[in-house]
Chain A
Amino acid sequence: KNQVEQSPQSLIILEGKNCTLQCNYTVSPFSNLRWYKQDTGRGPVSLTIMTFSENTKSNGRYTATLDADTKQSSLHITASQLSDSASYICVVSRRYNTDKLIFGTGTRLQVFP
């Protein structure tokens, strides 16, 4: 069982619509959680980083939430654009071993006009 699980595996939405991606993790003890965007053929790009005490963080049209009690995070994308088409990867690091990030398998988002 993966320590970081994401849902849905893939998602198709129309341009202008909102969507929410989910991340559940079992990594413990928790240090921080990151969301990355990975375009096809490119390396991942950081969207947000949240530590234990942070519940929400925004980066433009991207808003991430974190519930450290239930070990859940979400990434909400508002007013989607065609350029949002990418894989979104949830990454968790464990306290005392933050060098070894634990990656989810990602949600593949496709935005159609």
Chain B
Amino acid sequence: GAGVSQSPRYKVAKRGQDVALRCDPISGHVSLFWYQQALGQGPEFLTYFQNEAQLDKSGLPSDRFFAERPEGSVSTLKIQRTQQEDSAVYLCASSLGRLLGAAYVLVFGPGTRLTVL
């Protein structure tokens, strides 16, 4: 597609509920990132994929967070037993290649706003 798309755009969950957030990166983009953005803050890194391989998941805040990209394209971020502190915008971004020192443009999706009641 023309850009990175995410669904749903908005999600309201009751505390303890599981949620799944989807990201469709730009076709052909090798790298895919997930970020968490709290209100009024900059995005915080969660995890990174190169094709189907999850190369860095050091930003995932707890073992309730799980991400996958099984075929190297669409990615899903799953949050189990959601807590109120999980409320944030979850941004997905993709780029053509690995960001190794080079200025690959990182293209962001519109984000999914998760509200946990």
Contacts and interface: CB of A to CB of B under 8 A. Distances in A.
A103 B59 CA distance: 13
Interface residues of B, number: 31
Nearest to B38: A105
A43 interface: yes
A89 interface: yes
B88 to A, nearest CB: 14
Interface string B49-91: 0000001101100000000000000000000000000000001
A49 interface: yes
Given A100-B48, A103-B43, A105-B40, A43 B93 contact: yes
Contacts of B58: 100
A45 interface: yes
A98 B106 contact: no
A32 B99 CA distance: 10
Chain A interface category by residue count: 20 to 34
B44 interface: yes
A101 interface: yes
A44 B108 contact: yes
A98 B33 CA distance: 12
Given A43-B108, A46-B107, A32 B101 contact: yes
B48 A41 contact: no
A2 B116 CA distance: 27
B2 interface: no
A93 B48 CA distance: 14
B111 interface: yes
A103 B107 contact: no
A1 interface: no
By Cβ-Cβ distance, the 10 closest A-B pairs, closest first, are: A43-B108, A103-B42, A49-B103, A98-B99, A105-B42, A44-B108, A99-B48, A43-B110, A100-B45, A103-B43
Interface of A: 4, 31-32, 34, 36, 41-46, 49-51, 89, 91, 93, 95, 98-101, 103-106
